[in-house]
Amino acid sequence: MYMLHKSCGGFCHILGLPKAGVRGIMGEKGGKPCRIFHFFTTEYGVASVILREVPYRGEAYIHIQEAAPEHLQEHIRQCRDFCRAVGAEHIYIKEYPGLPQLPLHTQMVQMTGTAWVDREKLCALFPVTQATAGRWRAYHNQRMAGVDNAATLEAREEAKIADSGGAYFVHRDGQLLGIGWMEDTKLLTVAAEPGQGERVMHSLMSLVEGAQMTMEVASTNGRAVTLYQRLGFVATRPLDSWYCLD
C-alpha cells in the first residue's frame, strides 16, 4: 500500500519517512497547508512530523529522530501539541527507545512470495495515462480510506502515477475489478471490488511472473493479509510499528 511517509519522496505506499531534502508539501483541500516537517525541532529534541493526512483523515504522525531520554516525554508532548494545533484528531508515533507504554496502532510488515498466474483469473490490464490518472487516484483513495497508514494520493501526484508506467486498471468483460501499482517487483498498491482481489492480484503478478515479489502491509489490514497469504506470500520482515498517542 502507498505509505504516507514515503510518498513524497518516491513511489512507496505506507506511512514512513519522507526522503530528506523535501521541505514540505501543500494539501489540495482548499489550499490548506498540509506539510511534512522532516526536522521539527523542540528544545528537547528533533522529530519528523507528518501532517499531510490531517485534511483527509485527521491524522498526524510523529517520528522521533533524537531526544535525550530524560527529555523524551517533553519532546513528545511538544510534538503532539503542534499536531493538535494544526487540527490533527488522531496522532500516531513511531516506535522509539524509551517510548511509554501506548496502544499499538499498526505494525507494517513486508511480505514476499513468487509471482504466479492462474490463467483462469487473468484479466485485462490498462495502464494509467495522464487522462485517466484522476479516476485511478479517486478509486485508490476511496478504497484506501479505511486502511491504516495508507496515504491519500493528491492531485499533484497524478503525473507521477501516470509517468511511472506501473499503475493499472484491471478489467474483465468491461467491468472494473480493481487497480494496482507496481514498481519493478514491488507491489505499491492494490485495491479491488469485493471478492475480486485474487483476479486483480493474478493480473498484476503476470507482469513479473516467476519473480520474487514484495509488498508492505499493515498488520491490521486483515483482508489484504488474508489475500496475500492465500496467494502464497509470507511475512518476511517486520517494519515500523506505530502507536496511538491520541
Residues lying near ligand COA in the complex (CB under 6 A) are found at 1, 143-144, 147, 190-192, 194-197, 217, 221-224, 226-227
Q: How far is the CB of 123 from ligand COA (least distance, A)?
A: 13
Burial 30-51 (b: 16+ CB within 10 A, else e): eeeebbbbbebebebbbbbbbb
Q: How far is the CB of 14 from ligand COA (least distance, A)?
A: 8
Using CA atoms, how far apart are residues 126 and 135, in angstroms rounded to an integer?
13
Smaller CB separation from ligand COA, 86 or 225: 225
Smaller CB separation from ligand COA, 79 or 190: 190
Smaller CB separation from ligand COA, 35 or 202: 202
| Four-CA torsion 214, 220, 226, 229, nearest 10 degrees | 40
Q: How far is the CB of 38 from ligand COA (least distance, A)?
A: 25
Evaluated on CA atoms 8, 9, 12, 16, the torsion sign reads: negative
Tally of CA atoms within 13 A in the half-sphere of 28 that contains its CB? 7
Residue of minimal Cβ distance to ligand COA: 222
Smaller CB separation from ligand COA, 78 or 196: 196
> What count of other Cβ atoms lies within 10 Å of the Cβ of residue 113?
17
Q: How far is the CB of 51 from ligand COA (least distance, A)?
A: 22
| Four-CA torsion 85, 67, 56, 110, nearest 10 degrees | -170
Q: How far is the CB of 229 from ligand COA (least distance, A)?
A: 9
Smaller CB separation from ligand COA, 174 or 195: 195
Q: Angle 193-198-204 (CA atoms, 0-180°, nearest 5)?
A: 95
Q: How far is the CB of 9 from ligand COA (least distance, A)?
A: 19
Smaller CB separation from ligand COA, 82 or 233: 233
In the sheet with 59-67, reading across from the earlier edge strand, the strands are: 36-42, 45-50, 59-67, 90-94, 234-244, 104-114, 212-218, 186-192, 175-183, 167-172, 124-127
DSSP-based three-state secondary structure for 55: helix
